[in-house]
């Protein structure tokens, strides 16, 4: 073996040892077996898991959707079912199925494995954690563990404790909730005792610090007591199903106590970023392409029990942009359900503008006076409820005009205010075509000319634009004119791009066997150097490996170097490279880089040209040319780099004839390579 080969082997071995040790240390506190991890990767389907959080639409062989990590309007989030990788071009994030769950839910690696195992009913092989191992967990994870313990504890009290059954379970039964519904929403009850839950949690090994941080226990001086004592409990879940907090309803007529009490905000629970029922409703929302928005916990539960599952609640808080974005990932359509309370209806209309700002479609449905979604769904059969919602859901323009016109009646001043209010809502819509259509509809309903409405819309739009511009300019330095010629030009890192292209070709075409044009130098009849060519058949990875080894080329980019050695080692061992399994054993940084390289290629693929009877040449058919040209380009770049280095040496020692001759020889080689590549010297 050559010295280069020995060094390469030692380097690769060292990298793999480091990665293996890191991997073992990462999992050790959680004691998840490798068998479980393998089962998770083999079973989990990326498009299914991401489909729980993002509405995906078919785009050729891939799927596209709105980024769950940024507030974007045009979809740049791509999922490849074939390669089982994803890439978010708006944030730069990407990876495999575990990486997505980690990024989206802020899970650690073991937490993500547990989540996926639970989703696919995979038994987790692990030993029970000791108290010492629990201490190793982060504060955030400890808060999740405490919350999940509390949910199970309260559910157990509700179903198995005598007082729990007599008080809590009886209440839910009176509301008409079945055992299946109670289990689905993990409902519970907290005994009307000062420390019942806290003592049980401490006895089970959970620390008072995290009981207090989650708000489950209130600590005052040397005393501690349960926040939710004597209340039935509604666990609030994240989109992935983790318990974030609780809503508790009191069952006594204590006027000094709030009827509903929520968990305080914490590191894991932010009321403005959570929708009650989103975990249970997410799949139905995506399937029905519509989301019903209600106000309370029981509204959601009663709708589910009736058979309508695509419903969530803002839990009594004013609707926020973050909450709307949760729905926007799954559907563009929201139907707001109001009860007959006019005052509450007027207040809730403010949330419509927030929905419109995000480019979503809004419809509104009201129930008969004295009814709310809970009471109406409880007494209405499924078919009748679906029909009622279809027949009574109005476009927001028609609904808003109706509500505000009733208040204005025959008062022209109030009617003018009503129209301006409606136009203000229309001005929030980013789509210009939708804005125009809504203007026409408003003109028809309010019996006013379109010209006046368009003029008012223009005024509102200009005012908003001016205000936004002023805000941007606040705190900025004085404006300076910068001539285009003075602006620095960003140079392309040629070596980086060439090395990245080599990794890309290995990932895409490694095992393809094809013909390659092999070039070598020879003297012609005139004594001049020229490239001669022979055709050889080889696999892509063998061609790249032999060419780089022959030229003794080392990657300059450390990340590409690690990827190259890992890929070559895998191919030499198995003679194949299955991306969806290979990426799962890599360091997350390397896995992310692979995802970026592959999905950049997918982003600009020609997916549906065949349907138009256009048949472009497949890249696989030209892979031999691509590989050869890239290797020649890399050689030319390295020759140019060597020439520059030698020129610097000559400038130091002008008498070095040997160095001057080397420069001349390399210049000839560069000229030959440039001619072959049709490059200008």
pLDDT single digits (tens) 254-284: 878 888 999 999 999 999 999 999 999 998 9
- 139 token code pair: 């504060």
**What are the respective helix, strand and coil percentages of the chain, to the nearest 5?**
55, 15, 30
- 517 token code pair: 């044009």
Using DSSP bridges, classify how beta strands 85-88 and 77-80 pair: parallel, antiparallel or unpaired: antiparallel
Residues 267 and 214: their CA atoms lie apart, in Å, by 8
Give the H/E segment covering residue 338.
strand 333-338
Residues 571 and 585: their CA atoms lie apart, in Å, by 15
- 220 token code pair: 């005052």
Q: Provide the 10 A C-beta neighbour count for residue 480.
A: 5
CATH number of this structure's domain 278-460: 3.40.1360.10
- Do domains 31-119 and 131-269 share one topology? The answer is no
Name 224's Cβ contacts closer than 8 Å, sequence gap at least 6: 195, 198, 208, 212, 217, 218
Using DSSP bridges, classify how beta strands 394-395 and 361-366 pair: parallel, antiparallel or unpaired: antiparallel
Q: How high is the pLDDT of residue 410? A: 73
CA nearest neighbour of 519 among 590, 658, 625, 408: 625
CA nearest neighbour of 360 among 442, 436, 428, 275: 428
Residues 510 and 512: their CA atoms lie apart, in Å, by 6
- 48 token code pair: 């299914």
Q: How high is the pLDDT of residue 139? A: 81
Domain coordinates of the chain in residue numbers? 31-119, 131-269, 278-460, 494-677
Of the chain, the percentage scoring pLDDT greater than 70 comes to: 75
Q: Provide the 10 A C-beta neighbour count for residue 492.
A: 8
The band of 506, judged by pLDDT with boundaries at 50, 70 and 90, is confident
Mean pLDDT of 630-650: 71
SS3 221: coil
The band of 563, judged by pLDDT with boundaries at 50, 70 and 90, is confident
Of 216 and 322, which is predicted with more confidence?
A: 216
Q: Are 592 and 600 in contact (CB under 8 A)?
A: no
Give the H/E segment covering residue 465.
helix 450-473
Residues 438 and 395: their CA atoms lie apart, in Å, by 10
Q: Decide if pLDDT at 430 tops 50.
A: yes
Mean pLDDT of 90-102: 88
CATH number of this structure's domain 131-269: 3.90.980.10
DSSP category for residue 173: H
Mean pLDDT of 500-528: 76
CA nearest neighbour of 546 among 557, 559, 536, 560: 536
Mean pLDDT of the chain: 80
The band of 628, judged by pLDDT with boundaries at 50, 70 and 90, is confident
Name 374's Cβ contacts closer than 8 Å, sequence gap at least 6: 296, 298, 299, 301, 302
Mean pLDDT of 510-538: 71
- 491 token code pair: 């140079």
CATH of 31-119, one of 3.40.50.720, 3.50.50.60, 3.30.9.10, 3.90.580.10: 3.90.580.10
Residues 135 and 29: their CA atoms lie apart, in Å, by 10
Using DSSP bridges, classify how beta strands 94-95 and 223-226 pair: parallel, antiparallel or unpaired: unpaired
Residues 28 and 108: their CA atoms lie apart, in Å, by 13
Q: How high is the pLDDT of residue 615? A: 43
- Could you tell me the CA-to-CA distances from 273 to 239, 618, 662 in Å, in that order? 11, 46, 66
Residues 28 and 17: their CA atoms lie apart, in Å, by 16
Residues 288 and 282: their CA atoms lie apart, in Å, by 10
Q: Decide if pLDDT at 53 tops 80.
A: yes
Q: Are 453 and 439 in contact (CB under 8 A)?
A: yes
Mean pLDDT of 610-631: 63
Q: Are 643 and 667 in contact (CB under 8 A)?
A: yes
Of 210 and 482, which is predicted with more confidence?
A: 210
The per-residue pLDDT for range 103-148, each reduced to its tens digit, is: 888 787 888 898 899 888 988 886 565 666 555 557 888 899 999 9
The per-residue pLDDT for range 345-390, each reduced to its tens digit, is: 666 677 888 899 888 999 999 898 889 999 999 999 999 999 999 9
Q: Are 608 and 495 in contact (CB under 8 A)?
A: no
Mean pLDDT of 61-87: 87
**Residue carrying structure tokens 């695509």:** 310
Of 258 and 180, which is predicted with more confidence?
A: 180
Bridge partners of residue 63, in order along the sequence: 58, 79
Q: Decide if pLDDT at 235 tops 90.
A: yes
Mean pLDDT of 3-25: 36
The per-residue pLDDT for range 392-426, each reduced to its tens digit, is: 998 888 887 777 666 666 788 888 888 888 898 89
Q: Decide if pLDDT at 49 tops 80.
A: yes
In terms of pTM, does the model score above 0.75? no
Count of CA atoms in the C-beta half-sphere (13 A) of 346: 9
Q: Are 80 and 602 in contact (CB under 8 A)?
A: yes
Q: How high is the pLDDT of residue 623? A: 78
DSSP category for residue 28: G
Given strand 333-338, what is the order of strands in its sheet? 311-313, 291-294, 333-338, 361-366, 394-395
Of the chain, the percentage scoring pLDDT greater than 90 comes to: 29
Name 74's Cβ contacts closer than 8 Å, sequence gap at least 6: none
Give the H/E segment covering residue 445.
helix 432-446
CA nearest neighbour of 395 among 432, 344, 430, 429: 429
Mean pLDDT of 519-535: 65
**Distance from CA of residue 308 to its chain's centroid?**
27
Top mean pLDDT of 275-279, 316-320, 652-656 is at 275-279
Q: How high is the pLDDT of residue 257? A: 83
**Residue carrying structure tokens 């009913």:** 121
CA nearest neighbour of 445 among 480, 404, 407, 477: 404
């Amino acid at each position: 073996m050559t010295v280069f080969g020995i060094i390469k082997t030692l380097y690769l071995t060292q990298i793999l040892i480091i990665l293996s040790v890191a991997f073992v240390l990462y999992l050790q506190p959680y004691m998840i077996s490798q068998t479980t991890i393998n089962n998770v990767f083999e079973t989990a389907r990326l498009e299914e898991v991401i489909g729980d959080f993002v509405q995906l639409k078919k785009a050729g062989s891939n799927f596209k959707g709105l980024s769950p990590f940024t507030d974007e309007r045009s979809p740049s989030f791509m999922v490849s079912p074939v390669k089982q990788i994803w890439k978010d071009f708006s944030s730069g994030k990407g990876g495999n199925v575990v990486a997505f769950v980690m990024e989206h839910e802020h899970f650690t690696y073991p937490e993500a494995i547990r989540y996926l195992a639970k989703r696919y009913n995979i038994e987790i092989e692990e030993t029970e954690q000791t108290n010492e191992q629990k201490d190793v967990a982060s504060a955030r994870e400890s808060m999740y563990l405490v919350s999940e313990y509390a949910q199970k504890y309260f559910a157990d009290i509700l179903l198995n404790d005598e007082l729990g059954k007599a008080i809590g379970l009886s209440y839910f039964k009176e509301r008409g909730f079945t055992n299946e519904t109670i289990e689905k929403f993990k409902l519970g009850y907290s005994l009307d005792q000062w420390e019942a839950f806290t003592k049980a949690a401490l006895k089970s090994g959970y620390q008072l610090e995290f009981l207090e941080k989650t708000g489950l226990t209130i600590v005052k001086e040397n005393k501690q007591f349960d926040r939710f004592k004597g209340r039935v409990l509604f666990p609030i879940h994240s989109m992935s199903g983790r318990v974030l907090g609780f809503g508790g309803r009191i069952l006594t007529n204590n006027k000094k106590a709030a009827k509903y009490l929520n968990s305080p905000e914490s590191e894991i629970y932010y009321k403005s970023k959570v929708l009650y029922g989103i975990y249970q409703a997410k799949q139905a929302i995506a399937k029905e392409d519509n989301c019903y928005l209600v106000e309370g916990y029981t509204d959601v539960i009663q709708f589910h029990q009736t058979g309508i599952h695509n419903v969530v609640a803002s839990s009594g808080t004013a609707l926020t942009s973050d909450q709307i974005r949760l729905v926007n990932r799954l559907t563009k359509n929201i139907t707001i359900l109001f009860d007959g309370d006019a005052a509450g209806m007027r207040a809730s209309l403010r949330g419509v503008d927030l929905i419109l700002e995000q480019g979503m479609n809004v419809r509104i449905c009201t129930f008969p006076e004295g009814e709310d979604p809970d009471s109406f769904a409880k007494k209405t059969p499924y078919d009748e409820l679906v029909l009622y919602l279809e027949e009574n859901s109005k476009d927001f323009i028609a609904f808003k005009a109706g509500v505000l016109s009733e208040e204005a009646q025959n008062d022209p001043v109030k009617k003018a205010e009503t129209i301006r209010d409606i136009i203000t809502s229309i001005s929030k819509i980013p789509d210009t075509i939708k804005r125009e259509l809504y203007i026409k509809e408003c003109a028809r309903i309010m019996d006013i000319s379109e010209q006046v409405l368009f003029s008012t819309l223009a005024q509102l739009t200009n005012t908003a634009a001016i205000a936004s511009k002023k805000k941007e300019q606040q705190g900025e330095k004085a404006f300076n004119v910068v001539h285009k010629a003075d602006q620095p030009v960003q140079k392309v890192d040629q070596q980086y791009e060439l090395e990245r292209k080599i990794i890309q070709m290995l990932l895409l075409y490694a095992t393809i066997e094809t013909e390659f044009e092999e070039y070598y130098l020879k003297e012609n009849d005139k004594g001049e150097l020229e490239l001669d060519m022979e055709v050889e058949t080889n696999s892509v990875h063998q061609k790249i490996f032999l060419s780089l080894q022959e030229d003794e080329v080392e990657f300059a980019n450390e990340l590409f170097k690690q990827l190259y050695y890992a890929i070559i080692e895998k191919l030499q061992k198995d003679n194949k490279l299955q991306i969806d399994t290979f990426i799962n054993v890599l360091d997350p940084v390397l896995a992310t880089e692979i995802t970026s390289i592959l999905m950049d290629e997918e982003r600009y693929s020609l997916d549906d040209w065949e349907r138009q009877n256009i048949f472009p040449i497949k890249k696989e058919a030209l892979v031999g040319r691509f590989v050869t040209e890239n290797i020649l380009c890399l050689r030319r770049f390295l020759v140019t780099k060597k020439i520059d280095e030698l020129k610097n040496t000559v400038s130091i020692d002008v008498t070095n004839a040997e160095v001057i001759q080397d420069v001349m020889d390399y210049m000839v080689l560069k000229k030959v390579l440039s001619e072959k590549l049709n490059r200008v010297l």
